[in-house]
Amino acid sequence: MSGPDRLTEPLSAVLGPRTAAPLAKLGLESTGDLLRHYPRRYSEPGRLTDLSSVVVGEHVTVMAEVRQATVRQMRSRGGAMLQAVVTDGRRSLSLTFFAKRAGVLNLHEHRLRPGRVGLFTGVASLYRGELQLTHPDYQIVGVDADDEAAALVEATRPIPIYPASAAVPTWRIAKAVRTVLDPLTPDDLVDPLPPAVRSRRGLVDLHQALRDVHEPFTDAEWRRGQQRLRFEEAFVLQAALARRRAQVAATDAVARRGAPPEGPGLLPDLDAALPFTLTAGQREVGEQIAADLARSHPMQRLLQGEVGSGKTVVALRAMLQVVDSGGQAALLAPTEVLAAQHLRTLRALLGPLGEQGMLGGADRATRIALLTGSQSTAARREALLDAASGRAGIVVGTHALLGEKVQFADLGLVVVDEQHRFGVEQRDTLRNRAGTPPHLLVMTATPIPRTVAMTVFGDLEVSTLTEVPAGRSGVVTHLVPSQNPAWTTRTWQRIREEIDAGHRAYVVCARISLDDATVQEATDDADLLVLTGDGDDGEQPLRRPLRAVLEVADELAALPALAGVSIGVLHGRLPAGEKDEVMTRFATGDVQLLVSTTVIEVGVDVPEATVMVVLDADRFGLSQLHQLRGRVGRGAAPGLCLLFSDAPAGSDASTRVQTLVETTDGFRLAAVDLELRREGDVLGASQSGGASSLRLLRVVRDAEVIAQARADSALLIDEDPGLDGWPALRHAIAGWLDPAREEFLERT
């Protein structure tokens, strides 16, 4: 039987239904699932677990030494009880067993002799202030073996500790692994890593790597096995990405060379009319994009930049290059508020150049159309006609752009803003509207560490804007203890001072109203860290209700410090027309203080806004807080961001808030955010509902491994784009890219 078939054998056939059933609850249904269920750590027989790390309520596995074990009769309730104490040398843990008769417990008492070392597993609890495991499962090192020779070996080799459950302790998983692994030979396993790659990187084959991690005799062996398997994960992923890059390179697209710099053309006209000078970064990135657009295969580029770094101008210049080439551009935004903001920004930048056929329009001009789900029938009909006829060179829209009735005359460029908000089908729908694949520009204001970009956006070329245009004063951030009345009072006084100086203020809340079941809005707002139930980072469930927009707006209106201030509210449940009206009134100053949910997180640009208060700041993600903060300090006046938090010192939530106070460097914030979050979030598993696809590879820690795998896979794909000569690698890619895991790749 071939390797892949051996690894797809059901465990029920290999181990028997009784043994396989509890393993299936861990998601282990085939022999391949079991062999890829790697130990999370290794214990040495002489190294005991620090019992101070045991968390009450959690299922734990600890290695400890037996100090004593005694059986006694229970007078009050009848029956017998065995009480044992195990220790790490400093702290103790009680083991308690109950039985109807003392004789039943004698076997435990015989095995749990003082001085013996064992692995003990169960759910930790507190009884009279002492840590306890009740009816734990356990294995005594050097005793629970088939014979004396085996016991001697087991007493000296590293002990794999697997991710386990109460129904399946770690040693039962180890026993099942050995039952599956021991009969296998190298010929039974088809290795996805080509021999030349293994040789170049000094890696063992797959069979040896699995034996190394599951049955090591030394620490060096399990480290060797992990190194090989970690590289394999990176290589399979990078090969998938390299294959996609090759497929794109082989696809035809219409070259959009645009007008010559001296004109005539809309792009030269815009450059001549801009009231500011492009930064060096904007010019450099613009040249990269212009060169991509001029090629006859589709551009695939990610444009990342700090909040306020001028991505919109770069995108507009790219769109005008396409329009000058006779094509159209579509800008896809995640919310109606952001789409309307983009429309205002583009029209302001273009001026008469964006008013084709209108009074005051330039002789050489185009038209910008807006398409959203809440438009009137007449407005929607006009926008659809502008897009289909080609009269609109630029079409801005939300998910409404994806509707079946939306057609383009010649779609040459798709710009996707904050693309992580869009799913696979949505992105492909728009790109497939054109007969020939359009060029693609993805924009994000969330800085992405290099290794994440290589992993998550591996088939995109990455351009980065780091400079902030001149004339922006930046933002100062302070932490405000939520329970400090004096600081709270001063906050509202400070807001009044800014408003009296002619500026505007935001107050951001985590939910809309007090009766909301969850924090997160189901419409425009996304990415809140937690709901109102259990914390996402191991903290205690929230007991204080989170502040809500409608509640806070009423409270602020009643404050003497804010008497006479015009207060507006904005959230995802408002009709789109009302949202746009509120933002317009805020931009003009008719509304001076805006109480909002995170619907204002990205793209909203009101230069007069100078101060932001974020209530319950510790309940937002770090990248999201950075985006919110970017809404102030966008003009000549300096910005102020006040983060209300009561997160306990040392918690992940406190680390997030404190890091934001300390730096405005988006890349440092992104790196800290990545360290605090589950690895699965990086690959989109949290959105798709799945677990992380990565078992051993970590995108921050293993930067060098990812870079090596990227280089090796690129060489292989250059020689064999279809991987026709490497069926095992093709098989591994297909198995790895199941629908849930493919989500993050399809983001691009």
Query: What are 662-709's pLDDT values in tens digits?
Result: 988 877 787 777 777 654 444 443 333 334 467 888 877 888 898 899
104, containing H or E segment: helix 102-111
Model confidence at 633, pLDDT cuts 50, 70, 90, reads confident
Q: Is residue 620 part of a domain?
A: yes
Structure tokens at 364: 């050489």
**417 and 497 share a domain?**
no
Q: Is the pLDDT of residue 77 over 50?
A: yes
**Amino acid 474: pLDDT:** 79
Q: Angle at Cα 252 formed by Cα 249 and Cα 257, nearest 5°? A: 95
Q: How many helices (H) and strands (E) does the chain have?
A: 28, 21
* Coil/strand/helix, residue 349: helix
User: Among the residues of 420-575, which ranges form H helices?
Assistant: 424-431, 450-456, 485-500, 549-557
Model confidence at 450, pLDDT cuts 50, 70, 90, reads low
**394 and 489 share a domain?**
no
Name residue 371's beta-bridge partners: 397
Output the average pLDDT for the chain: 84
Q: Is the pLDDT of residue 719 over 60?
A: yes
**Amino acid 451: pLDDT:** 64
**Amino acid 57: pLDDT:** 83
Q: Looking at residues 317-332, what average pLDDT do you find?
A: 96
What does residue 375 show for φ and ψ, rounded to 5 degrees?
-65, 155
Name residue 392's beta-bridge partners: 367
**Amino acid 144: pLDDT:** 65
Model confidence at 68, pLDDT cuts 50, 70, 90, reads very high
Q: Count CA atoms within 13 Å of residue 538 on its CB side.
A: 11
The rounded percent of the chain whose pLDDT value lies above 70 is: 84
Q: Is residue 274 part of a domain?
A: no
Rounded CA-CA distance 552/125 in Å is 41
Q: Which of 134, 157, 180 is the last residue of a domain?
A: 157
Q: Is residue 535 part of a domain?
A: yes
**Amino acid 744: pLDDT:** 40
Q: Looking at residues 365-387, what average pLDDT do you find?
A: 93
Tell how far CA 7 is from the center of its chain.
30
Q: Which of 426, 444, 462 is the last residue of a domain?
A: 444
Structure tokens at 336: 């109606």
**Amino acid 19: pLDDT:** 93
**491 and 568 share a domain?**
yes
Q: Is residue 411 part of a domain?
A: yes
Beta strand spans in 78-200 (E): 80-87, 92-99, 117-127, 130-134, 137-140, 159-161
Q: Using only C-alpha atoms, what is the Rg of the chain?
A: 31
Rounded CA-CA distance 463/447 in Å is 11
What residues contact residue 720 under an 8 Å CB cut-off, 6+ apart?
726
Kindly report the CATH number assigned to the domain that includes residue 60.
2.40.50.140
Top-confidence residue, 211 or 140: 211
* Coil/strand/helix, residue 290: helix
Q: Looking at residues 626-644, what average pLDDT do you find?
A: 90
Q: Is the pLDDT of residue 746 over 70?
A: no
**Amino acid 369: pLDDT:** 96
Q: Is the pLDDT of residue 4 over 60?
A: no
In sequence order, what DSSP letters do the residues of 637-690 get, joined into one string?
A: SPEEEEEEE-PPTTSHHHHHHHHHHH---HHHHHHHHHHHS-HHHHTTHHHHT-
Q: Is the pLDDT of residue 67 over 90?
A: yes
Q: Is the pLDDT of residue 661 over 60?
A: yes
**496 and 636 share a domain?**
yes
Q: Is the pLDDT of residue 264 over 60?
A: yes
**374 and 498 share a domain?**
no
The terminus-to-terminus CA distance of the chain in angstroms comes to: 38
Model confidence at 539, pLDDT cuts 50, 70, 90, reads very low
- Number of structural domains (the chain) is 3
**403 and 514 share a domain?**
no
**525 and 630 share a domain?**
yes
Closest CA to 237 of 702, 686, 724, 672: 702
Rounded CA-CA distance 621/262 in Å is 46
Q: What is the pTM for the complete model shown?
A: 0.68
Q: Is residue 479 part of a domain?
A: yes
Name residue 137's beta-bridge partners: 121
Q: Which of 132, 157, 182 is the last residue of a domain?
A: 157
Kindly report the CATH number assigned to the domain that includes residue 394.
3.40.50.300
Token pair 């996402």: residue: 536
In sequence order, what DSSP letters do the residues of 10-75 get, joined into one string?
A: BHHHHH-HHHHHHHHTTT--BHHHHHTS--SEEE-TT----GGG--TTSEEEEEEEEEEEEEEE-T
Structure tokens at 81: 């009880």
**Amino acid 529: pLDDT:** 37
Q: How distant, in Å, are the alpha carbons of 190, 326, 392, 408, 432 from that of 411?
A: 45, 10, 11, 6, 10
**495 and 414 share a domain?**
no
Q: Looking at residues 638-648, what average pLDDT do you find?
A: 92
Lowest mean pLDDT among 341-355, 463-477, 616-630: 463-477
Q: Is residue 639 part of a domain?
A: yes
Q: Is residue 210 part of a domain?
A: no
**431 and 534 share a domain?**
no
Beta strand spans in 541-663 (E): 567-570, 593-596, 609-614, 639-645
**522 and 659 share a domain?**
yes
Rounded CA-CA distance 81/70 in Å is 8
**487 and 617 share a domain?**
yes
What is the edge-to-edge ordering of all strands in the sheet holding 475-481? 475-481, 639-645, 609-614, 504-508, 593-596, 567-570
**546 and 650 share a domain?**
yes
Top-confidence residue, 520 or 210: 210
Question: Domain of 370?
Answer: 285-293+309-444
Q: At what angle do helices 170-181 and 17-24 cross, to 10 degrees?
A: 120
**Secondary structure in 3-state letters for 320-334:** HHHHHCCCEEEEECC
Q: Is residue 745 part of a domain?
A: no
**Amino acid 459: pLDDT:** 67
Q: At what angle do helices 219-249 and 727-736 cross, to 10 degrees?
A: 90
